Each structure stands twice: as C-alpha cells, then as structure tokens.
Amino acid sequence: MSGSRELGRALRGWRDRTAPAAVGLPAGGVRRAAGLRREELAQLAGLSVDYVVRLEQGRATSPSPQVLSALARALRLSAAERAHLYLLAGQAAPGPGQLSAHIPPGVRRLLDQLDGAPLSVHDAAWNLTLWNPLWAALFGDASAQRGRERNIVWRHFAGLPSRVSHSPEQEARFEAAVVADLRAASARYPADAGLRSLIKDLRDNSTAFARLWDTGIVGVHETDTKTIHHPDVGTLTLDCDVLVAPGSDLRIVVYTAPPGSDASARLALLNVIGTQAMTENSAPA
C-alpha cells in the first residue's frame, strides 16, 4: 500500500507543477493552485476523473502500462520521471522490442511553437499521442477517444467516421504507406503485444488490409494533399507532410496551405474560432 501512496504523491506533485498553458489549456478561472486540475489531467490522459482521484489517493493499485503511458504524456514527464512512474506502479518501463510513446522535449517545443499549423504526433504503430489545438479544431477533439479509436490505421480500414476524403489514387498511396509502416514496426518491435494484436485484428476485420499485408506492399510517405470537410469553415485542401523525429519513431504530421490561398484563409479563421466551433468528434485517415 505504501507504493500506491508514493505513486499518488508523485502524481499530485507532477500535476501541481504542470501549468495549463504548457499543455495547451486555458489558464482562466479561479485556481487554488497553478497546476492542472484533476479534471484537466483526466481529459488529457483520456481517463475518468474518478480514476485519477483513486490513483492520487492510493486506492487504485494496479494501473496498466497504457494508463501509465497516457499519464506520462499528459504530465510531460522526462524520460527519468517516466521510468520512475512505472517503478512506483510496479511495472517495467517499455524496453527494447516495445513501442515507446515518449515524446522528447524538442518535439513538444515544436508542437507548442508552430501554432499556426495543425500538428499531430503518432507512434510507430500510428497511435495518436499528441496534438495541438488547431489540429483539434480542424479534425475534432480526440481526448474522448479510447484505444483503437486513436489509431489512424484502424480508423481507416475499419471505416470509422472521418472529415478527410481521398481520391482513389490518394487512398492507394496512403494505404500502401501505412501498411508498410506497420510491417516495418513489427520487425523493429517484435515484443510489443499491442502491435501484434493490432495487426492481427486488422487482418481479421479488413479484407483490404489483409490483401495489402499479404502482398508485401511497400510504400513511403510523400507530400500529398488532404481534403478536409469542416462543419463550420467548409472544405479545405491542405498539403500534408509526415516528418520523423530524429532519434525516435515518432511521426509528426503537419498540415499547411499556400499563403494567400482560400484554404489558408479558412485555416486562419479556424485558428481564431478554435475548438469552440467543433460539432463533431472525428479524426483524420
């Protein structure tokens, strides 16, 4: 039980030191402390407020690796702090052969500073791990999504709702690239049970994915355009670039529009409107 109390104490300390503005939240309203409220941490980590309370009070004794990973991302823990979090929870931190969702400080600064472009960060299996406010305004707030709902490949092949439309040629390029990505990830992370389960379920539930997987198709991500249908600002055609963070397998997806274009004006309007204009909860594919 002492371990649970230590975990709760550490979580409270990390929450208290995390300024709302540092994680993209408004700092308005009356606050008893400068840090995050429990409700805000729960939202950022995709957990219930009650569960966060039980963790901090030492009444939730066995948080899963997925929960710990979400908390580490939400609290912006360093690599050493993240390892300490797993230790306090009695779990082994992800090691070689397993996917890592750790986001280096440089990537976080990039996300914070490029607020004029929608940005999202994904791990090697295309699980959505982080996004900026303009991405949420464009595609819908993903904070309420759970599990596979945050995986770009699953969303696409399972036919989940999306604001993005592809031409047949764009869809073929996209599918080839993400299937090739998962194939490469499965070779680099053979011990990752979540990745193996994702690939198995994709093969079992999508004939299109199974066909592409079995052909051994190879694809690479190139600059492409995405057509996004937004309920408030209309249709935007944006350039989409996929960048790989040095020293990691994180994918940074950036959406931009040529200066002076209609899409640029719509994106600027959306940046002013923000997430208040959102009427749907969807993600790109």
Domains of the chain: 2-88 (1.10.260.40), 105-277 (3.30.450.180)
Of the listed ranges 56-70, 150-164, 190-204, 228-242, the least confidently predicted one is 56-70
| pLDDT tens profile 227-255 | 999 998 999 999 999 988 766 788 899 99
The residue that leads in pLDDT, 76 or 33, is: 76
**What is residue 160's predicted lDDT score, i.e. its pLDDT?**
93
Stretch 94-100: mean pLDDT, rounded?
70
Residue 1: per-residue pLDDT: 45
Residues contacting 20, CB < 8 A, separation 6+:
26, 27, 35, 36, 40
Beta carbons of 285 and 152 less than 8 angstroms apart: yes
Quick one: average pLDDT of 175-185? Answer: 91
Confidence label for 283 from pLDDT (cuts 50, 70 and 90): low
Least confident range of 69-73, 169-173, 256-260 = 69-73
Tell me the C-alpha distance between 155 and 178, whole Å. 12
pLDDT for position 96:
63
If you average pLDDT over each of 97-106, 197-206, 220-229, which comes out highest? 197-206
Of the two residues 247 and 71, the one the predictor is more confident about is: 71
Residue 146 in contact with residue 138, Cβ under 8 Å? no
The separation between CA 217 and the C-alpha centre of its own chain, rounded to angstroms, equals 26
Token digits of residue 69: 């990973």
Confidence of residue 281 (pLDDT cuts 50, 70, 90): very low
pLDDT value at 217 more than 90: no
d(CA 10, CA 87): 11
* Sign of the dihedral through C-alpha 209, 212, 213, 217: negative
The larger pLDDT score, comparing residue 81 to residue 113, is at 81
- What does the mean pLDDT of the chain come to? 85
Is 50 exceeded by the pLDDT of residue 115? Answer: yes
